[in-house]
Structure 1
Amino acid sequence: MSNKQTNRPLVLIALVLSMFMAAIEGTIVATAMPNIVGDLGGFTLYSWVFSSFLLMQAITTMVYGKLADLFGRKPVFMFGVIIFLTGSILCGLAHSMTALVIYRLIQGIGAGAIQPIVTTIVGDMYTLKERAKVQGYLASVWGISSVLGPLLGGVIVQFIDWAWIFWMNIPLGILGIIGVYRFFHEDVGKEKKSIDYIGSALFLVGISALIIVFVQAGTVWTWTSLETVSLLLLFIACMGLFVWQEKRAVSPMMPLFLWKDRLIIIANLATLFSGMIILGLSSFLPTYVQGVMEESAIVAGFTLSTMSIGWPIFATVAGHLVLKIGFRTTALLGGTALLIGTFLFSLLDSDKGPVYAAISSFIIGVGMGLSSTTFIVSIQNHVDWNVRGVATSLNMFMRIIGSAVGASFLGGLMNQQMRKYFQEAEVNAEISNTEILLDEEMRQTFDPNELLAIQDGLSFALHNVYQGLFVIGLLTFIILLFFPKIYPKDK
């Protein structure tokens, strides 16, 4: 910290507002997409409105983490928020779906700085005892935003205009910039900085190729298509060159010694798998509740929102637990909750009803709250200031990659299992017909026998997806058994 005194309460308010702005963007856009498509057209680009944002967020997160270690947290945070707000203004002015996708890319470039740098600033400002609790409060921001997002999105679309789901970010971002600029002070060394341009470029190209494969393969392209194979080869080549470059760089973008540290390896692998669990749940649970259980969209939303309630509550609990029982035991409690939650989902059927699904969802939220806070606090407690930014960003990067892998793997599994069911049952039903299960009026007009067959196919496929989730939950728990017994010490 610098000689000037940082006003921690005001900086924390600014950070929470910025985090809320970035966190709510995912859920609020999802609610408004039907209206946006109705206005702009371009339904074929629907998924790219989300994927473009995720892609740029994923590939820039690590770069920002390193820049924050070199030049300080403040300039990197402010740059990220300004880019995010620029993207938000442009998104609201979009006149076509193509333009919206491009502007979402810009928004994603800014978003890559917000969450990791906010979390790193909190790691810098607070002692271990305080840090554990404050990181729990930051996790609450994500929980609250995922509950408020759909509600707020619905109100804005119905009563104002969809452009305001992007423009509402502007006052939040401006307050965030002012708070950090005026009240956060840090000491950054004046020595000449060395930026690893080659390593950063190789990382950006390689990870971009990988995420495009996850988005496109299994849906637009087959896994054996020329595009998929070419991009995977590009990813492997770039990562090979990236590792070579990091070994020789003066100030590597991703210090390779982080991957030799047992605590960081275990925390990052568990974060990768938990990212898959979250995506699998949020993507497929509403479809199951509406399509198989024949419940309304509101009930489907309720079954998922219980996870968003469990997560922040137990993220705050984790902040207290790590000080009393240590990192390893708290992480294992989180892993146990994830294992129980995914096991309950593997037993889910239409007879169990939405309350069963909501309870299972809550337990997974408990697991996420206990584990994610423990990982961040243990990593920040374990490394020095000059690598805290990149170590924090690496953990968040692993969750984004986990989400991308989960979307691709579990989505592919669902489609494959539905095809298999229809072939074996000799049902003449296209997978696209599953859309009718989500529309109550269309269900009434469809042949009951064919409707039942499609419903059974969806139920069979999603049962396999949830069994896949249980395997991922089991792997997460097994990995956490190797979490080292390192006790909290102030850093």
Structure 2
Amino acid sequence: MSGTSAAATPGGIWSGERLAVTIGAVALIFLAAVQSLAVTTVMPVVSAELDGADLYAVAFSATLATSVIGMVAAGAWSDRSQPVAPLTASVLLFVAGLVLAGLAPSMPLLVVGRLIQGLGTGGETVALYVVVARVYPRALHGRVFAAFSAAWVVPSLVGPFLAGAVAEFLHWRWVFLGVAILTLAAFLVVLVRLGGRDLRTAEPAADRVGGRLLCAVAVALGALAVSLAGTAGTWSWAVVAASAVVLAVAVRPLLPRGTLRSARGLPSVVLMRGLIAGSLFGAEIYVPYLLIDGYGFSPVWAGLGLTTAALAWAAAAEVSGRFGDRIGNGRIAAIGTTLLAAATAIAAVTALAGLSPGVVIAGWTLAGAGMGLMYPRLTVLTLAYSTPQNQGFNSSALSISDAVGAATTIAVMGVVFTALTGTDAGFPAVFVIATALASAALVPGLRMGHGHELRRPPGAG
């Protein structure tokens, strides 16, 4: 059965022939999220055992950097044929990286595993987006991406605790190896259901991708350099500036034309994703840090302090998936950016004035609600603006904007925070940067327009 005929089949995402695909795809997203959060918990133990303190930060930035290459490769591959093959390759790379990291006898080899894992992570995400575009009708895209969003939220509730338990009672290596085994099982569910189906487009893309892959490599190197800028001492800002130039030049061919100037339509959708990702993920690093350093919270309690934000994200994602068309893209942008800006501003004021920690915890719930409202809607809009020939390119562009926005913001915040060490201005400064980015995101948010996300197939309710 082709992707077109599948799209015409009635039913929801949890019924009929789509059930197995939904279960497997959500499981893959869930496991990627679990692994990401789990590594944050166990990496101090890993670093100590492998004597790899110097490569501690690189173990995180490596995955983010190489994910850009995986995104571009999987997007181009999907546009030229069908998403099953790039999804298979991406999952195998992800699993291979996990196995190498889990068995690594030294920190350098673990970093190599993380580099390989990043290639798979980026490719897997984009390939799954294309699967959604070619298996599910447009009317169900919002619900699929709401489920994906929830699959990222649930691990934030249980992932760190489970990772700590695994590291304490088994061994940290099973944090990598266990996810590898489960990922293969989840992928087999998807492969069995999609393996015999033709998901190719009638007119596959035939553009040259060599140049885009070179740009992706340059972006990956630039993102990695930005991530390492905080270790450059007095040269930190020079590294940031040089890396920013490389990123700005290299990323342009990987994004829709007009993205950096917020052209109306898809370019603004992609730009907004990068801005809100930078605001949220940059600031989120410093919320538990503030609770631990400023208020004496334990790491466990600091992490649990973000639980309400995770729940708000899941609830808002469900609202966005079910009622996004009724609310409208402009209202979603206005409400979401306002909630995100308010949360980061509350965090800044709390840090500056020494307010109760309950204020920043309650305020951060607004950030979760704002992101849950915006994130799945931006993915729905990206596919709505896409044709079968460029679904892969546009999906990879959205993910690249996300990764580059987060990596660049985290690096700049790190340099600022380090420069203000010893003063009371460090935490307020990084939260002010996040507030500025959230506010700036409203500009492309009001220029997103509409793709075809409002259209319904005949007879749809």
Superposition TM-score, scaled by structure 1 size:
0.83
In structure 2, the CA distance between the partners of 1:210 and 1:222, relative to structure 1 (3 Å rule), is: farther
Aligned partners of 2:436, 2:239: CA distance in 1, in Å? 30
Match of 2:48 in 1: 38
Of 383, 388, 402, the residue aligned with 2:386 is: 383
Select the structure of larger CA radius of gyration: 1
- Tell me whether 1:21 sits opposite 2:24 in the alignment: no
Compare 479-488 and 357-366 and name the one that shifted more. 479-488
Aligned to 1:187: 199
With over 3 angstroms needed to count, the CA separation of the structure-2 counterparts of 1:407 and 1:146, relative to structure 1, is: same
Q: Deviation digits for residues 16-39 of structure 1, max 9, x if unmatched?
A: 111112112211011111211221
Runs (4+) of structure 1 exceeding 3 A deviation are 3-6, 189-195, 221-239, 253-261
Work out whether residues 327 and 488 of structure 1, in 8 Å CA contact, stay in contact via their aligned partners in 2. no
Structure 2 partner of 1:171: 181
Taking a change above 3 Å as real, the CA distance of residues 343 and 257 of structure 1, as seen in their structure-2 partners, is: closer
Match of 1:443 in 2: none
- 5+ residue gaps in structure 1? 244-252, 423-456
- The answer to whether the 8 A contact 2:87-2:127 is kept is yes
Q: How many angstroms apart in 2 are the aligned matches of 1:140 and 1:216?
A: 31
Give the whole-Å Cα distance in 2 for the aligned partners of 1:410 and 1:228. Answer: 11
AA matched with 1:412: V
Q: Is the 8 A contact 1:215 1:408 kept in 2?
A: yes
Sequence identity (%): 23
SS of 1:79's partner is: helix
Seen in structure 2, the aligned counterparts of structure 1 residues 267 and 222 have a Cα distance that, compared at 3 Å, is: farther
1: distance between equivalents of 2:394 and 2:191? 24
1:410 alignment partner, one of 384, 391, 413:
413
Unaligned runs of 5+ in 2: 7-15
Q: Aligned residue for 1:466?
A: 431
| TM-superposed deviation, 1:284 | 0.8
The correspondence of residues 312-327 of structure 1 with structure 2, limited to 5 A, is 312-327=314-329
Deviation at 1:130, TM superposition (A): 1.8
Q: Which amino acid in structure 2 is aligned with residue 272 of structure 1?
A: G
Question: Does 1:147 pair with 2:157?
Answer: yes
RMSD: 2.6
Matched, 1:371 2:337: no
2:440 and 2:448 map into 1 onto residues whose CA distance is: 13
Aligned position for 1:270:
272
Separation (CA, whole Å) in 2 of partners of 1:97 and 1:200: 31
Distance in 2 (CA, whole Å) between partners of 1:475 and 1:365 is 18
Match for 1:105 among 94, 108, 115? 115
Is the CA contact (8 Å cut-off) linking 1:258 and 1:391 kept in structure 2? no
Question: How far apart, in 2, do the equivalents of 1:138 and 1:331 lie?
Answer: 20
Aligned-partner Cα distance in 2 for 1:488–1:192: 25
Match of 2:65 in 1: 55
The structure-2 alpha-carbon separation of the partners of 1:300 and 1:18, relative to structure 1 and needing over 3 Å to count, comes to same
| 1:119–1:392 Cα contact (<8 Å) kept | yes
Partner of 1:352, secondary structure, is coil
Distance 1:286 1:14 in 2: 32
1:331 equivalenced with 2:297 (yes/no): no
For residues 256-279 of structure 1, give each alpha carbon's deviation from its aligned partner in whole angstroms, at most 9, with x where no partner exists.
488896221221121111111222
Aligned residue type for 1:346: A
Q: 1:144 to 1:125 in 2, by over 3 A?
A: same
Are residues 1:488 and 2:440 paired? no
**1:352 pairs with 2:355:** yes
Greater mean deviation of Cα atoms: 390-399 or 188-197: 188-197
Segment of structure 1 superposing worse, 79-88 or 196-205 = 196-205
Shift in Å, 1:176: 2.7
CA drift at 1:304: 2.3
- Matched residues, number: 442
